[in-house]
Amino acid sequence: MSVRRIRVGGADPYDVVIGAGVLGELPGLLGGGVRTVALVHDRGLAEIARPVGAVLEEAGYRVHALPVPEGEAAKEVGVLAGLWSEFARLGMTRSDAIVGVGGGATTDLAGFAAASWLRGVRAVLVPTTLLGMVDAAVGGKTGINIPEGKNLVGAFHPPAGVLCDLTTLVTMPREDYISGLAEIIKAGFIADPAILDLVEDDPEGAASPSGPHTLELVERAVRVKAEVVTADLKEAGLREILNYGHTLAHAIETAEDYRFRHGHAVAIGMVYAAELAALAGRLPADAVDRHRAVLTATGLPVSYGAEAWPALRATMTIDKKSRGSTLRFVVLDGLAKPGRLEGPPEELLEAAYKKVAR
């Protein structure tokens, strides 16, 4: 069994363990001194949560399974409040822990529940989707949604560990798996072009969990994120590059009431950011073309409705990366050369959108 361990540094360092059939690594990530474990899991993943709970019980922990709604429906204030009540009922103390099992929405919720309960308890995240493994579960960002926007309420709370068992990817719906691939491709554009080469050499294989490069693609994407968040946990500067494509993407998700796949929105957002950089004279046209080519080769979308622009533009105003009324975009000045574009003129914003409108 090939197991990869990636260290995420900072004030509270932790390991991301990646491999197939690595569930036995979980107690080692959780550590000693913990008695009670709240196992927060997507209610549709009971068959995956059960063996997780069994491994923890065998290691001597008292485990209480707490199912939550599937997908983005989990990231609501009411669901979070329900978890707080359950933690109180269980008598969870600051030395107890939370294990989050599910996709990115579930690990976001579990992480924020851990950050907010008693001002912070230990959490280990077990992402079961490609998106969760390469993005949501790594980096210490936690959060929930409100009607006004995605992830506007949250906290930085590094987990005690992250366990990526690649066997959980096999049962993922194809479209959901491809959605997660967008975040891997993003890592290729901002930092590791070898990712793009792997995807371009075998786009069909990249779009399948049984592809020949799945472990390497996941590992490379996690390493990119680990290096960035080690240097900048709280998004003081460098970490913003991980938001490449996300300004428009979050606006699309808000407009779609979070029913639009995150990776699909990021794919569109990356093409928009590339067009914006090209119009600003910072990125050559062939780099924009490469965005479209690599994304479409794997089945990801690269366009969105023309009529949606006014609503999307209004939503982008309250994006987390904005400073006051100034919009800030992560753009590329070349492959693996991320930069920032602050306060672009309205006509440039609209002209770039016309390039992705359908």
Q: Which residues are annotated as a binding site for NAD(+)?
A: 70-75, 104-108, 128-129, 141, 150, 168-171
Please indicate whether residue 239 is annotated as part of the active site: yes
Binding residues for Zn(2+): 183, 246, 262
With contact defined as beta carbons under 8 Å apart, do 242 and 225 qualify? yes
Please indicate whether residue 292 is annotated as part of the active site: no
Please indicate whether residue 157 is annotated as part of the active site: no
- 122, 157, 186, 250: the active-site residue: 250
- State the CB neighbour count (10 A cutoff) for residue 313: 16
- 122, 151, 240, 243: the active-site residue: 243
3-state secondary structure 202-237: CHHHHCCCCCCCHHHHHHHHHHHHHHHHHHCCCCCC
In sequence order, what are the residues at sequence separation of 6 or more whose Cβ sits closer than 8 angstroms to the Cβ of residue 106? 40, 41, 42, 68, 74, 100, 132
Binding residues: 70-75, 104-108, 128-129, 141, 150, 168-171, 183, 246, 262
- 220, 223, 262, 292: the active-site residue: 262
- Residue 115 tokens read as 């950050």
- 89, 119, 323, 358: the active-site residue: 119
Please indicate whether residue 321 is annotated as part of the active site: no
- 41, 157, 223, 225: the active-site residue: 225
- 122, 157, 223, 246: the active-site residue: 246
Q: How far apart are CA 17 and CA 285, in angstroms?
A: 38
In sequence order, what are the residues at sequence separation of 6 or more whose Cβ sits closer than 8 angstroms to the Cβ of residue 76? 69, 144, 145
- 141, 157, 186, 292: the active-site residue: 141
Beta-carbon-side half-sphere exposure of residue 241 (alpha carbons within 13 Å): 24
- 25, 76, 183, 275: the active-site residue: 183
| Strand duo 328-332 + 161-165: pairing | unpaired
Q: How far is CA 63 from CA 53, 58, 66, 333, in A?
A: 6, 10, 10, 49
- 25, 76, 219, 235: the active-site residue: 235
Please indicate whether residue 35 is annotated as part of the active site: no
- Residue 88 tokens read as 């109180």
Please indicate whether residue 275 is annotated as part of the active site: no
Please indicate whether residue 41 is annotated as part of the active site: no
Please indicate whether residue 264 is annotated as part of the active site: no
Please indicate whether residue 141 is annotated as part of the active site: yes
Please indicate whether residue 253 is annotated as part of the active site: no
The residues that are catalytic are: 119, 141, 183, 225, 235, 239, 243, 246, 250, 262
